[in-house]
A = this chain, B = another copy of it.
């Protein structure tokens, strides 16, 4: 039984590109972190050290900068699609390109024409894959930190010999949400307005459902958030939610003669609950 090369890909990670649109005195700015990764038949590069089919990762970086200049970026999904299609179409050995982009937010300071302040901590994301089957677009957000100060319970859970957790009917629910939603047909590019509107609507739905749902568990909140997104956005076929449970532990103040009616909490770092769930359309 021989030893062979399995799945492999390579690329340039975290090219930090900043773009100013300065057609008028009122500038707009875009701040991206772009990672590209290419697959194809690169066996000679591995087995024989022959790099003849390998487009350098340095070239991939150059391509990101050049593409940022000559057309304009559009939304990150469009920019990723353009880059991924270029690699698959124009670079002969490449059969699959995976482009991931993070976008950092900026807002104007005092409505100034060219003065800006970073917003956050949330980051908008996309991952686009182009291969022989077409284009596949996932949009997302990470580090969307949300919290409910009430309206959250955790009770009626399974108990075994290692269970000491008391039930609670009023707790703090907090998470730093990562969400990724898959567009049903990524082959066409519906244009900037679509991508922008789709992103804004999903983000708004996630936030609103998080606060509105009376939560019997983080799992339930995530399900309701994901379901609402798919109900509202027919262009999406599924959504994945990854949610660390940022534990807020009620501090026992009784040794100091004080009660603590859900007012003072210790926020812990580790360990943390971690809930991961996909919500999708039936028949997928």
Query: A109 touches which one: B162, B210, B276 (CB < 8 A)?
Result: B210
Assess whether A51 is interfacial by the CB under 8 Å rule.
yes
Assess the B145–A118 pair: CB atoms within 8 A: yes
For chain A, which range describes its interface: under 10, 10 to 19, 20 to 34, or 35 or more residues?
35 or more
Which B-chain residue is minimally distant from A146 (CB atoms)?
B117
- Bitwise interface map of A from 1 to 20 toward B, beta carbon under 8 Å scored 1, else 0: 11111111111111111111
Query: Is A201 an interface residue, CB under 8 A from the partner?
Result: no
- B-side contacts of A284, CB under 8 Å: 6
A217 on the B face (CB < 8 A): yes
- Residues 42-53 of chain A, each 1 if its beta carbon lies under 8 Å from chain B, else 0: 100111111111
0/1 per residue, A101-112, Cβ < 8 Å to B?
000001001101
Q: Which residues of B contact A161 (CB under 8 A)?
A: 256
The residue from B66, B163, B271 contacting A16, defined by CB atoms under 8 A apart: B271
Q: Which of A26-41 contact B (CB under 8 A)?
A: 27, 29, 31, 35, 37
Q: Are B256 and A211 in contact (CB under 8 A)?
A: no
CB-defined contacts of A279 to chain B, threshold 8 Å: 3-6
What chain B residues lie within 8 Å of A149 (beta carbons)?
A: 20, 22, 27, 29, 114, 116
Contact of A116 among B10, B146, B282 (CB under 8 A): B146
Q: Is the CB of A37 within 8 A of B262?
A: no
A260 within 8 A of B: yes
A24 to B120, CA, bound (A): 29
Distance (Å) between the CB of A118 and the closest chain B CB? Answer: 4
Q: How far is the CA of A106 from the CA of B148 in the complex (A)?
A: 11
- Within the complex, the shortest CB–CB distance from A200 to chain B, in Å, comes to 13
5 A-B pairs (CB sep. < 8 Å): A5-B278, A54-B157, A65-B253, A69-B258, A116-B147
